Amino acid sequence: MNRPTSLTLLAVSTISCFALTGCFSPGPENSPLGSGEDGDDRISIAMLQPPRSGLTPLSDDAFKLSRWSTAETLVVLDDLAEAQPSLATEWQQTSPIEWTFSLREGVTFHDGTPLTAEDVARSLTTAATASPTPRILDGVDLTAVASDDLTVTVTTAVADPLVPQRLSSPQLSILAASAYDDDAVDPVGTGTGPFVLTAVDGTSGATLDRNNDYWGDPAAAAGIDVQFVPDGTARAAALRTGTADVVEAIPVGQVAQIDEDLIFEVPMPRTNTLYLNTESGPFADPDVRAAAREAIDRASIVSGVYEGRADVAEGLLGPALPWAADARADDYREILEQRAEPATVDGVSISLGTFTDRAELPEVAVQLEQQLEAAGFIVEQDVREYQFIEADALDGAFDAFILSRATVLDSGDPVAYMYSDFGCEGSFNLSQFCDPAVDEALRVAAALPAGPDRREAIMAAEAEILSRDAAIPMLHERVIQGESAKIEGAARDPRERLLITGDTRADQ
């Protein structure tokens, strides 16, 4: 009965936030770092989520620092997730567990101090010894020491062919000594990127200015003004009214109200997947799992729930990894031919769980229920907030569970996700799945260095997983990014590591 009041309050809030001057600060008028020729070539951003951990790089807030181009890492990843130089210019593996990284000369932190190997070792050691450990180092025993002024030696307890890729994670950004105070890490004025983080207004916004002492080419824009706008309707309004130049994650339902020329769809390494309980209940039978697989009409879910702004899944890995589709060749298809034949089901009762935190998932559950019941299943839904349903899902309380799952984690490599979800010892094994052939395929992939052979092994592992019908990939999500007509060069990054770069400009 309170809904009309809530909507009214939302409308008032949205109007008051974005009318005329809006919620965006114009930036410091007399900033020595940030003024362009006319002082107004700044870029305003409306971002989806506010900081959750004070912008410490040891948390997921690190991705904001990366998207603002203020904090940098030793290496970056190319489109194939292979490591490329950044603050490190070259590296080599000197033993199965040891790597040396040569640092770029002439790099200065935003506080004026020079980048040294001691700074790198400090940043990496802080991350490796943090509690909780940054996700990229979960299960990795890593140490870093300065070998000389511009050389760092990184050692792991066991051989890890992905050390360079790990060091590309924004959670391992390199900051100045002044950033570290006891257990706190403060990124304000302590990065190395083309923009200096000069101020943070709690969970409201942040201000960045051009770094005129950047080791590369100076940024095209004078600065960045960030506002955190969790409400999707308000973010869409910011783009429509010109209050924001770049807008994250515009809801599908708002797109029709925006000039199509301002909308850009970016494929995400995130797959909407139906996990089937292979340990107990009806889906312990591979033939019944096959019946569920055959019952699902992926295209109708994409068109009906996502209004066509998603991609029908051909596998676990989607178009955000452009190499994956080409790797589904003859050997891959031969493995899939091992799949069980669908059983005839008539009145088989199943429980279907999902969560409300992602607005589309309850709608997906409704369509899935209709499709599965048309095939002979009887479906009972259980939809809750994620925090209240995760434990039950991990314990195998559901016969089937719908999850929007990131398939490429911080290293840019999908093996960790596959291990987590489908390995016998996987920590996120919603399917309660264990198969020696899958474990062996994952072991082979994990042992290979980054490159074509590893990618081929990853796809062989994907085929082994799908041939057991432990999970049914339904669609690959896209993020809808808004950019005003005056913006040029904003990054459209599937990994969500980049947004505003040194090349991004706002033409007045």
Do residues 74 and 99 lie in contact, with contact meaning Cβ atoms separated by under 8 Å?
no
Return the pLDDT at 14. 39
Count of CB atoms situated within 10 Å of the CB of 390: 17
Per residue in 42-71, pLDDT (tens digit) is 999 999 888 988 899 998 899 999 999 999
Return the pLDDT at 450. 87
CATH C-level class of 75-181: alpha beta
Count of CB atoms situated within 10 Å of the CB of 101: 26
15, 272, 349, 367, 416 from 476: Cα distances, Å: 34, 6, 28, 17, 19
- Lowest mean per-residue pLDDT among 243-247, 339-343, 403-407: 403-407
Return the pLDDT at 240. 94
Comma-separated ranges of CATH 3.40.190.10 domains in the chain: 3-69+193-245+484-506
Task: Select, from the ranges 152-161, 180-189, 402-411, the one with the highest average predicted confidence (pLDDT).
Answer: 152-161
Q: Can you read off the two tokens belonging to residue 312?
A: 């029908």
Q: Check whether the bond before 132 is cis (ω within 30° of 0).
A: yes
Q: What gap in Å lies between CA 352 and CA 369, rounded to an integer?
A: 8
What amino acid occupies position 319?
Answer: P
**b/e burial code for range 424-436 (CB count within 10 A of at least 16 → b):** eebebbbbbbbbe
Please state the three-class secondary structure of 377-426 as a single string: EEEEEEEECHHHHHHHHHCCCCCEEEEEEECCCCCCCCHHHHHHHHCCCC
The structure's pTM equals 0.80
Average pLDDT over residues 492-497: 90
β-sheet bridge partners, residue 120? none
What amino acid occupies position 126?
Answer: T
- The yes or no reply on domain 267-478 and CATH 1.20.1070.10 is no
Per residue in 14-44, pLDDT (tens digit) is 333 433 334 554 444 433 333 344 445 999 9
Return the pLDDT at 152. 98
Q: Can you read off the two tokens belonging to residue 182?
A: 């006891």
Per residue in 125-178, pLDDT (tens digit) is 999 999 888 878 877 899 999 999 999 999 999 999 999 999 999 999 999 999
Determine the longest span between alpha carbons in the chain, in angstroms. 73
Eight-state DSSP code of residue 74 = S
Return the pLDDT at 138. 77
Return the pLDDT at 412. 79
- Phi, psi angles (nearest 5°) of residue 8: -65, -45
In CATH, the number for domain 3-69+193-245+484-506 is: 3.40.190.10
Comma-separated ranges of CATH 3.90.76.10 domains in the chain: 75-181
Local confidence band at 358 (pLDDT 50, 70, 90 cut-offs): confident
Q: What gap in Å lies between CA 10 and CA 18, rounded to an integer?
A: 12
DSSP state string for 96-122: TTEEEEEEPTT-B-TTSPBP-HHHHHH
Return the pLDDT at 182. 77
Do residues 227 and 234 lie in contact, with contact meaning Cβ atoms separated by under 8 Å?
no
Return the pLDDT at 79. 84
CA angle centred on 431, ends 80 and 397, rounded to 5°: 140
Determine what percent of the chain is predicted with pLDDT higher than 90: 75
Q: What gap in Å lies between CA 210 and CA 67, rounded to an integer?
A: 15
Count of CB atoms situated within 10 Å of the CB of 148: 11
CA angle centred on 57, ends 105 and 269, rounded to 5°: 100
Residue 414 CB contacts under 8 Å (≥ 6 apart), including other chains? 269, 316, 317, 321, 407, 408, 458
Positive/negative CA dihedral, 19, 203, 478, 350: negative
Q: List the helix and strand counts (H, then E) for the chain.
A: 14, 21
Q: What gap in Å lies between CA 148 and CA 277, rounded to an integer?
A: 53
DSSP state string for 290-333: HHHHHH--HHHHHHHHSTT-EEE-SSSS-TTSHHHHHT-SHHHH
Determine what percent of the chain is predicted with pLDDT higher than 70: 92
